[in-house]
Amino acid sequence: MFLGTHTPRLDEKGRLILPAKFRDALSKGLVVTKGQERCLVVWPTAEFTEYAQKLRTAAQTNANVRAYTRVFFSSAYDEQPDKQGRIGLPPALREYAGLDRDCVVVGADTRIEIWDAVAWDAYLAKSEPGFADLDGEVVPNF
DSSP, residue by residue, 83-116: TTSEEE--HHHHHHHT-SSBEEEEEEBTEEEEEE
- The predicted pLDDT at position 141 comes to 62
Over residues 109-125, the pLDDT tens digits come to 999 999 999 999 999 99
Domain ranges of the chain: 5-117
Global pTM reads 0.92
Over residues 96-109, the pLDDT tens digits come to 999 999 999 999 99
Alpha helices in the chain (DSSP H): 20-26, 45-56, 63-74, 91-97, 117-131, 135-138
The residues of the chain scoring below 50 in pLDDT are none
- The predicted pLDDT at position 134 comes to 77
- The predicted pLDDT at position 133 comes to 77
CATH 3.40.1550.20 fits 5-117, yes or no: yes
- The predicted pLDDT at position 116 comes to 98
